[in-house]
Amino acid sequence: MLQTDCFPVDLTFAFMDSEGFVGDSAAAQITVKLDASEKAGSICLSELRIHFGSNFRNLQISHAESTNDVFSTLNELREEHDPSHPMAKSLHCTADLRLSPGQVRIYNVSIPLREADLLNATEASVLLKGKGASLEYLYSRPTDIAAQTWFLQSGDNTITRVRSQKSVITVLPKPPKMQITIPNLRECYTGENVVLQVDLANEEDENADVSLEAKMQNDEGLEVSLSWHADDDEATRSTDGSLPIGAMPASKCLTHRLAFTAPSEFSSYTLTVTAVYRLASSSDADPPVSKTLTLEVPFVSPFEANYDFAPRLHAEDYPDFFSLPEPPVDSENDNQPAQGIEQRWCLISRIASFASNAEALVIESTLVVVNKVTGNVKCAPDDGHHDSEASPMVVEAQGMVNVSHILNTRRMSLEDRRAASLDLSLAVKWRRQDTAPGTTTTLLLPIPRLTVPAAEPRVLCTKERSGDDPDIVAIHYTIENPSMHFLNLSMTMEASNDFAFSGPKFRSVSLTPMSRARLSYNILVFEKGDDEGVVEVNGQRGRWIMPMLRVTDPYFNRALRVLDAQDGVTSDERGNVGIWIEAK
C-alpha cells in the first residue's frame, strides 16, 4: 500500500443530495483523472473502492473493458455481505477503469438505501496490478476525496455545478406506505358500545406480512379493553388488542372492526393503532416496519338533566282512625311492611342532549333507580306511570325533552313524622338515530338528593273539566292531615277580574287525625279580546289564571301553602298557584 502526495490519479466522490434524504437509493458520482504528461502513457486501474462509515462498508468497482465514454452509469450493482463485518454489506460492480494522461472519467451510481443512516464517504483507495507486483493507493481523509463540483452531461458537452456538501448524506427513515384510516370515527359517548371501522391499505410495492396492534389509554394509565372483529364475521378475532393478519398482497385493502365499551365517566383517551409488517424482500435480520395512527378520543355524556320533585294526590283512602295498626316493634327493620300513609310524588326530569354534531339521539325508555333511602321510609317507583313508555323520543342536538316518573313513599310507622331523603338515579336507555332499535346503551344520570318533607298538614291543588260545559273548570283543594292532632283551618277564596267562581267564599274545615277533606270550586274564565294573556306551552295555546285561596291555621297563626299536584297546575316562587286554561 502506497501513500504519497505525488500519486498521479485524482479521485473525488460526491452525493447528489446531501440534506435529509428519503428514498430507495441515493445518486452518487465518482470522478477519476490521470494527472500526468502525455509521455507517461495510459494506465488501467484494477479496482476502485469508496469506503463508508455505515452499514454499507464500501463500494467496489472492478475493471471491465467497455466503451471509452467520459460518462458511465453503473446499473448492475451486486449487494454482498462483507466477510469481515457480518452485519455489513458491500456493493460490487464493474466499469472501464482505463485512464489516458489528462483524461477524466465520471461514474454515476445509485446506492441502495435500506434504513436510516449517516452515509459518509470516509476514504477511498485504488489498486493497480502488474506483472509480479501490485500497488494500492489510499486516500485516507474525507477531504482528500471531497468533490467541489458535480458533473452533468449536456449533449456532447460537460457542465459543472458547485457543491456545498460533498461526501455526506443523511438518510432519513423511509416512511411506511401502509395506510391506516378510521372513516367512521365520530363523537363518542360515555358507556356507549363503539365499533370502529379500521381500513388497512398496503401501498408498498410488494407483499407484506402484517399484524395490527391497538391500544386505548388515558393520561392516568387506565386502559380500555379492545377486541378485533373481521368485517364480514361477527366472531371475535382477538381480545387483547393485537391481531395477526398474515400475508397481505401489494395494493390490497382490508377492513376490520375494533369494538370497545366507552368509559362510564367523562374522560379523554388516546387511541393508537399500529401496523407492524415485514416486506417479502426483507431478511430476518432487517427490523420490521411500522405505521402508527394516533387519535385523541374524548368521551362525553350524551345527556344531562335537571329535576323537579313535586307532590301528587294519592287515590288511596286514609286509614280508619279507630282501627289503626299497631306500631312496629322495630321501626329500623326494613323487612317488615310499612304502616304509614302512602304519599305520591312526581319526579319531572328535563333531559337535554349534549350532542355537538347535529346528531339526533333516540331515548327508548327511562327508569328511576332507588339507590338509598335515608330515614324510616320505603320508596318504590311506579313504573306504570311515566311518559317514556308511550314511544321512543327523538332528541335533536342541543334539544330537550321532559319525562315524568311517579314515586310512592310510605313511612314505616304512622307516628313517624320525620323528614327523609332519597338517593336516586335516572337510567336512560338510548341509541343513535341511525342504529337499530336493539342496539341501546343505558346511561345512569345522578339525581341530586331529594327530600321527603316531614308528615305535616298540606293543601294539594288539582283540576278537571266540570261536566259537559267546556268553559267551566273544576278546581279541587285537598287538605291532608297525616298527624295525630285535630286540625281547624280557615279557607278564603279571593275574587278576581279574570274569572268567576262558584263555591264558598269563606269556609272553616275541621280535620280529625289521619284524615283529609276536599273543597271544590267551579271556575268560569272571562273572555278577553285580542288574545290578551294567551301564551303557547308545549304546542298548546292557553292562559294562566291565578286563583288565590288563603288557608290559615288560627290556632297556630300559620298559613299553609297551596301545592300544585297535577300537570296543568303550577306554582311560582311566591307560592301562588296557576291553573292552565286552554284557549278556545
Task: Copy the grid coordinates of residue 203.
Answer: 401501498
Q: Label residue 502 by pLDDT band (50, 70, 90).
A: very high
Give the cell for residue 101: 494522461
Task: Kindly report which listed range (67-71, 329-333, 374-378) carries the lowest average pLDDT score.
Answer: 329-333
Please, are residues 554 and 491 in contact by the beta-carbon 8 Å criterion? no
**Torsion angle, alpha carbons of 159, 164, 166, 170, to 10:** -120
Contact 248/209 with Cβ under 8 angstroms? yes
- The average pLDDT across 23-38 equals 83
What is the C-alpha to C-alpha distance for residues 324 and 319, in angstroms, rounded to an integer? 7
d(CA 323, CA 274): 76
Position 6 scores a pLDDT of 67
Lowest mean pLDDT among 197-211, 240-254, 326-340, 406-420: 326-340
Look at the pTM and tell me if it is higher than 0.85. no
CA angle 85, 90, 94 (to 5 degrees): 150
* Residue 538 confidence class, pLDDT cut points 50, 70, 90: confident
Is the predicted pLDDT of residue 253 greater than 50, yes or no? yes
What does the pLDDT read at residue 336? 75
User: Are 269 and 216 spatial neighbours (Cβ–Cβ below 8 Å)?
Assistant: yes
Q: What local confidence, expressed as pLDDT, does residue 1 receive? A: 47
Share the mean pLDDT of the chain.
85
Which range is least confidently modeled, 209-223, 298-312, 567-581? 567-581
| pLDDT above 60: residue 386 | no
Which grid cell sits at 338?
Answer: 310499612
| Residue 18: predicted pLDDT | 59
Cα 138 from Cα 108, distance rounded (Å): 21
pLDDT for the residue numbered 450: 94
Given pLDDT bands bounded at 50, 70 and 90, which one contains residue 154? confident
pLDDT band for position 555 (cuts 50, 70, 90): confident
- In this predicted structure, the answer to whether residue 385 has a pLDDT above a threshold of 80 is no
What is the C-alpha to C-alpha distance for residues 265 and 514, in angstroms, rounded to an integer? 46
- Indicate if the pLDDT at residue 483 is higher than 90: no
What number is the average pLDDT over the span 530-557?
Answer: 85
H/E element holding 136? strand 133-139
Taking 90 as the threshold, does the pLDDT of residue 297 lie above it? yes
Kindly give, in sequence order, each residue whose CB lies less than 8 Å from that of residue 132, ignoring residues fewer than 6 positions away: none
The candidate with the shortest Cα–Cα distance to 511, out of 534, 488, 545, is: 488
- Whole-angstrom distance, CA of residue 239 vs CA of residue 214: 10
CB 73 within 8 A of CB 58: no
> How many CB atoms are located within 10 Å of the residue 139 CB?
25
Write down the pLDDT at residue 198: 93
What domains are there in the chain, each with its CATH number? 9-171 (2.60.40), 178-300 (2.60.40.10), 303-452 (2.60.40), 458-582 (2.60.40.10)
Cβ–Cβ < 8 Å for 104, 71: no
pLDDT by residue (tens digit) across 86-136?
667 788 899 888 888 888 899 998 888 767 777 888 889 999 887 878 888
pLDDT (0 to 100) of residue 579: 92
Give residue 375's pLDDT band: very low, low, confident or very high (50, 70, 90): confident
What's the mean pLDDT in 412-434?
A: 90
CA 317 centroid distance within chain:
53
